[in-house]
Amino acid sequence: MARYPAWGSRSRIRWCTIRLSSPVAAKNRMAVEMSMSDQYKTVDGAQVGVLMGSVSDWPTMKKTSDTLTRLGIAHECNVISAHRAPRRLEHYCSTAEQRGLKVLICAAGGAAHLAGVAAALTHLPVLACPMKGWATDGLDSLLSMAQMPKGIPVATFAVGSHGAINAGLFAASILGLSDDTVKKAWLDFRADQSAAVHELPDG
Ligand code: AIR
């Protein structure tokens, strides 16, 4: 219960009492929470959450998803724009840790605020993937992500598919610190990659 000032007919303050945690309010809050979590996909056992500002980012971010799959890392992919669905983003990020996620990878183009806002809403590490937009070849999103002011960091990767793949690999290097299966997959990947590098060109 709390008392709040309310304006009376002659502009004098009246006091009204609001029951802050009435059963009806709690039920409404629960309904809002439930409908909010219906608006994004969750995967049991996911360690990484991949977020995109738009479905138009998916052809690039599918490479992150493929990289995580190749390394055996359970993950979930969602489109949640910081600009177009801010409340959904808040709900997703503020429940991320309790749902078992350990790393978020955020991709957006243009004025890309997704990674920064996500990092403001969770203390989990946030990896940022700038997308090539409709102008400036992705420089706008690169700077939006790389130029975060001190206090809330995001780790920013290269524009486009190279950054998308590296973000997946970087997630593996983070998870590998505490997960031996992921560590082995990550080390195997690196060893295979080294073995595939030839010293001299053919011919
Ligand atoms: N975007 C969406 N909401 C906020 C931002 N920054 C980005 C998307 C996408 C670009 O805007 O991440 O890269 C264009 O989105 P769309 O949906 O118009 O194709």
Q: Would you call 120 exposed, middle or buried from its count of C-beta atoms within 10 A (0-12, 13-18, 19+)?
A: middle
Q: What is the pLDDT of residues 52-94, one digit of tens each?
A: 999 999 999 999 999 999 999 999 999 999 999 999 999 999 9
pLDDT for position 24 = 74
CA of 141 to the centre of ligand 1 (A): 10
Tell me the pLDDT band of 6, cut-offs 50, 70 and 90. very low
Q: From residue 106, how far is each of 151, 157, 164, 180, 200 by CA, in Å?
A: 18, 10, 10, 25, 38
> Rounded to the nearest whole angstrom, what is the distance from the C-alpha of residue 149 to the centroid of ligand 1?
22
Q: What's the whole-model pTM score?
A: 0.85
- In whole angstroms, what is the distance from residue 171 CA to residue 173 CA? 5
Q: Which pLDDT does position 10 carry in this prediction? A: 41
User: Ligand 1 within 6 A of 51 CB?
Assistant: no
Closest CA to 40 of 96, 83, 79, 85: 79
Q: What are phi and psi of 11, to 5 degrees?
A: 55, 25
H-helix segments, 19-175: 23-37, 58-70, 86-96, 114-121, 139-146, 161-175
How large a percentage of the chain has pLDDT more than 90?
78
Share of the chain above pLDDT 70, in %: 86
What phi and psi, each to the nearest 5 degrees, are found at residue 34? -65, -45
Report the 10 Å Cβ neighbour count for 179: 17
- Ligand 1 contact, 138 CB (< 6 A): no
Domains parsed from the chain with CATH numbers = 41-195 (3.40.50.1970)
Q: How confident is the model at residue 1, as a pLDDT?
A: 41
Q: What is the 8-class DSSP label of residue 57?
A: G
Q: Is the beta carbon of 163 within 6 A of some atom in ligand 1?
A: no
The residue whose CA has the least distance to atom 1 of ligand 1 is: 53
Please give the helix or strand (H or E) that residue 103 lies within, else none: strand 103-109
Q: What average pLDDT does the segment 158-186 reach?
A: 98
The preferred substitution site among 54, 58, 141 for testing ligand 1, maximizing ligand atoms within 8 Å of CB, is: 54
Is pLDDT at 11 greater than 50 in this prediction?
A: no
16-38 per-position pLDDT tens digit: 334 445 777 777 766 666 688 88
